[in-house]
Amino acid sequence: MMWVELAWLIPVIPLVAFPFILFFGKSIPKGGGLLAIVAVGAAFFLSLFVVVDVSQGNLPVHGGGEGEPAGGGEAVHAYESSMVWTPVPGPESPLEVGVHIDNLTCLMLIVVSLIGWLVVIYSVGYMAHEEGKPRYYAEISLFIGVMLGLVVANNFLMVFIFWELVGLCSYLLIGFWYKKPEAAAAAKKAFLVTRVGDILFLVGIIAIWNYFGTLNFGAIQEQLKTMLGEGALDVQMLTTMALLVFGGAVGKSAQFPLHVWLPDAMEGPTTVSALIHAATMVNAGVYLVARSYFLFEHAPDALLVVAWIGGITAFMAASMALVSNDIKRVLAYSTVSQLGYMMLALGAAGYSASMFHLQNHAFFKALLFLGAGSVIHSMGTNDMREMGGLGKKMRLTSLTMLVGVLAITGVVPLSGFWSKDEIIVSVFHSGNWPLFLLAVVTALLTAFYMFRLWFMTFSGKPRSKEVDHAHESPCIMTVPLLVLAAFSISTGFIGTPFWPRFQEFINWGHHGGESFGATSGMLMAVSLVVALTGALVAYLLYYRRAASPDRAVSSGAGRAVHTLLTQKYYMDHIYYWFAERVVYGFTRVCDAFDIRVIDGAVNSMSDGAVRAGGRWRRSVSGNVQHYAVGIVIGLCLLILLLKFALPPLDELLGGWPGLSRWRWWEGWGW
Amino acid sequence: MIPLSAYLVFSAILFCIGLYGVLTRKNAIVVLMSIDIMLNAANVNFVAFSAYSSPFDLSGQVFAALSIAIAAAEVAVGLAILLVVYRVKGRMNVRIFRELRW
């Protein structure tokens, strides 16, 4: 019995906890929180055992298919187990339900379950005074459960099902305070915007099914390998499929131009934001691209699109973060920006760099969000202009936040430095100079806005009286912060150029990136200098107050740029315009068609029937003699018909034995 | 010998007189009487056909006798109904018996 054979239980445990918490939450301690902690914790420890199994190559040997040891030559890379869900007519393979555990899955399992667990623990403190706790814990354990399901799924269809469930959970949790109109609107926005990507993903799945006849990752990979060997690969088709799948990822991972939902998603509880941003929802998109990387690998055009979308997103989001005063919104933009980084790395063939950044980002972004949650919990506001000087009141929060800020900025030797540097190296090696510049400028902006956030919140003088009442959060909230801070410091060390253990793991044994050399040393220095420059500018502007940033944006070009950024590049306006003019216009045309033509046809038929009935009922006079006249006229007509219009009676009634027995009409001449 | 057609013409005239009465008269009792005239036209036909087609078989005559008996029963029922209607309405005009309409 190996742990990896129990991998299917990992998503099932939180999923089973969901109805229990929902229905019996009131009688469980902490409004169902305890059960959520136990369920997600169990999923985490199970994931941990599975990962230990996989990293030691301790996988069960099963007949045929993937993971065959091949006589000891090739190492076993993946564990796969599935059962047929429903057979499909035709030569295509049946739809199946199964788990696929490889190194990428392991990474995601740990990230999702560990961060999910810490967030649930933190929630016990953060949500202590909220209404509707059973609903919250039920939905959050469902959220983590479906995300784990998405990660272990072994085919596109299952991924899609969990993908939609993740979207549903995000809708439910962003709209947790559904009585607040903004929260309800944000939930709807998140659901609808990601739905645009989901449609593309679904079309992509159908295209893949048509082309390969299977949705299983392993089977598609094998087919691609043989097609590549025979030179029978349709690159254009492959590019289309890859881009459609990427369309889904654009929606879920909030990439340009579908990034608009993520900043609004801040209306949910901060813990939910942390979960969405660090562990579950947005990582699903990056994970999907990484999981279906075999499609992208041989489609250079698709990779280029991924890289450009990622680069543009990274830069745009970072620039919008510069001007936001809402602490959570800054973090939201930084998430969008960092996800852009991951996409950029994937597009620049930096597969391991992207996954490395995903892992590190998950930890420091969870840390930053939970830290921000701790600040909001004690301040009761999100607005950084009303904060300031919180460092003394909330020492633990401010220090752990500083760790997160340093990590995301990319200061050596914290985790963000190693992965961001590796992304920059891979973009550099792809030889695309505009993208390289975008990446470096984004790194500069990131350093600036993150330090701006920290200085505005924790340093200087208090700017409102709420700061005086601020206090450090309870243990149950600070301990997860400390754990995450420890991870934010340390997770980078497993993937340094000097000891690339992570890259070896994720690349299945062979080291994908190149070893440490002069170029990468120089790039390391560049990224460090860039990060420190950004931090220094923020220090001068927001700590020393060497110059007033407000004056710079009060007139001229600065003002124009500031307006552009605060208006979020007018993306929302464009969407509103599109929705109002194009979509709504089209809707009105459809509505008119519905009312005039479809309803019109039905209504006129019923009106006609009613009117005809109104006329006809006059004939029912109640006078017996009128009826008698009717009978006489009818009789006359029948006789005339028989005489002149109808065929002879012999023909008419001959076939009816009862009527034709005596041939009573014979001799009538009829 | 009187030809069959004479009986049939007589029967047709009788039927038409009855029909005219049913369709035009107002008095319910007259209408009932007219119906009986029509019935009797049919009885004449029965007897005439029977006498001409098979003179030694009396089935047509028997049928006519049966029909007369049934007509008597029907008239009894009809008169009883008319009596009750008369008590309610106070008149015998069929054109005011119009409760069963739209």
Distance, CA of A312 to CA of A344 (rounded, Å) = 9
Choose among B24, B95, B102: nearest Cβ to A623.
B95
Contacts of A453 by beta carbon, 8 Å cutoff, 6+ apart:
A327, A330, A331, A384, A405
Q: Which chain A residues are closer than 8 Å to B19 by Cβ?
A: 632
Residues of chain B with pLDDT under 70: 102
Give the predicted TM-score (pTM) of the model.
0.74
Q: Residue B96: closest CA among chain A residues belongs to which residue?
A: A623
Percent helix, strand, coil in chain B (nearest 5)? 80, 0, 20
Q: Please compute the mean of the pLDDT values over residues A325-349 and round it to a whole number.
A: 87
Spell out the domain ranges in chain A.
3-566, 567-598
- For the segment A173-196, what is each residue's pLDDT rounded down to a tens digit? 888 888 888 888 888 888 888 888
Average pLDDT, chain A: 82
- Say if the Cβ atoms of A621 and B98 lie within 8 Å: yes
Q: How far is B101 from chain A (nearest CA, A)?
A: 4
Length of chain B: 102
The count of structural domains within chain B is 1
Which chain B residue shows the shortest CA-CA distance from A615?
B102
According to the model, what pLDDT value does residue A199 have?
Answer: 92
Identify the pLDDT of residue A75: 46
d(CA A44, CA A234): 41
pLDDT band at A73 (very low <50, low <70, confident <90, very high): very low
- Best probe of the B interface among A625, A632, A668, by most B CBs < 10 A, is A625
- At B87 the pLDDT is 92
Q: DSSP labels for A514-535?
A: PPP-HHHHHHHHHHHHHHHHHH
Each residue of B16-37: b (16+ CB within 10 Å) or e?
eebbebbeebeebeebbebbbb
Domain holding B96, by residue range, is 4-100
* Amino acid symbol at A519: T
pLDDT digits (tens, 9 = 90+) for B75-95: 999 999 999 989 998 888 888
B interface toward A at CB cutoff 8 Å? 19, 22-24, 31, 94-95, 97-102
Residue A624 contacts B where some CB pair is shorter than 8 Å: yes
Alpha-carbon Rg for chain A, nearest whole angstrom, is: 33
CB < 8 Å from B in window 457-486 of A: none
Return the pLDDT at A347: 87
Tens of pLDDT, residue by residue over A586-636, are: 999 999 999 999 999 999 999 999 999 988 888 888 888 888 999 999 999
A289-293, A471-475, A579-583: least confident range = A471-475
Tell me, what's the pLDDT at A64?
40
Chain B CB contacts of A621 below 8 Å? 98, 101
The pLDDT score that the predictor gives to residue A55 is 77
Structure-token pair, residue A93: 């393979």
Task: Give the closest-approach CA distance of A621 to chain B in angstroms.
Answer: 5
Chain B residues with CB-CB distance to A628 below 8 A: 22-23
Of A108, A164, A112, A170, which is closest to residue A139 (Cα–Cα)? A170
Test A628 with B22 for CB contact under 8 angstroms: yes
ipTM for the whole complex: 0.87
How close A620 gets to chain B, by Cα (Å)?
6
**Cβ under 8 Å to B: A residues 598-617:** 617
Give the list of residues 6+ apart from residue A492 with CB closer than 8 angstroms, or none: A360, A407, A413, A414, A415, A416, A417, A418, A419
Q: How many CB pairs under 8 A join A and B?
A: 30
| Residues 6+ positions from A565 with CB-CB distance below 8 Å | A319, A320, A322, A323
Residue A163 makes CB contacts below 8 A (sequence gap 6+) with A150, A198, A201, A248, A252, A284, A288
Secondary structure (DSSP) of A7-24:
TTHHHHHHHHHHHHHHHH
On whether any CB of chain B is under 8 Å from the CB of A633, the answer is no
Option in A620, A624, A632 nearest B94 (CB)? A624
Per-residue pLDDT reduced to its tens digit, A509-544 = 444 455 556 677 788 888 888 888 888 888 888 777
> Under an 8 A CB cutoff, do B101 and A621 touch?
yes
CATH number at residue B78: 1.10.287.3510
Is the CB of residue A272 less than 8 Å from the CB of residue A173?
yes
Contacts of residue A315, Cβ cutoff 8 Å, sequence gap at least 6: A337, A340, A438, A441, A442, A445
| Average pLDDT for A275-301 | 85
pLDDT digits (tens, 9 = 90+) for A10-42: 888 888 888 888 888 787 777 778 888 888 899
CA distance B23 to chain A (A): 5
Q: Using a CB–CB cutoff of 8 Å, tell me whether A27 touches chain B.
A: no
| A628 reaches B (C-beta below 8 A) | yes
| Facing B19 at nearest CB: one of A623, A624, A632 | A632
Distance between CA atoms of A29 and A103, rounded to whole angstroms?
37
C-alpha A340/C-alpha A317 separation (Å) is 9
The reply to whether A639 touches chain B by the CB within 8 Å rule is: no
Percentage of residues of chain A with pLDDT beyond 70: 90
Q: How confident is the model at residue A658 (pLDDT cuts 50, 70, 90)?
A: low
Q: What is the DSSP string of A240-308?
A: HHHHHHHHHHHHHTT-TTSTTHHHHGGGS-HHHHHIIIIISHHHHHHHHHHHTHHHHHT-HHHHHHHHH
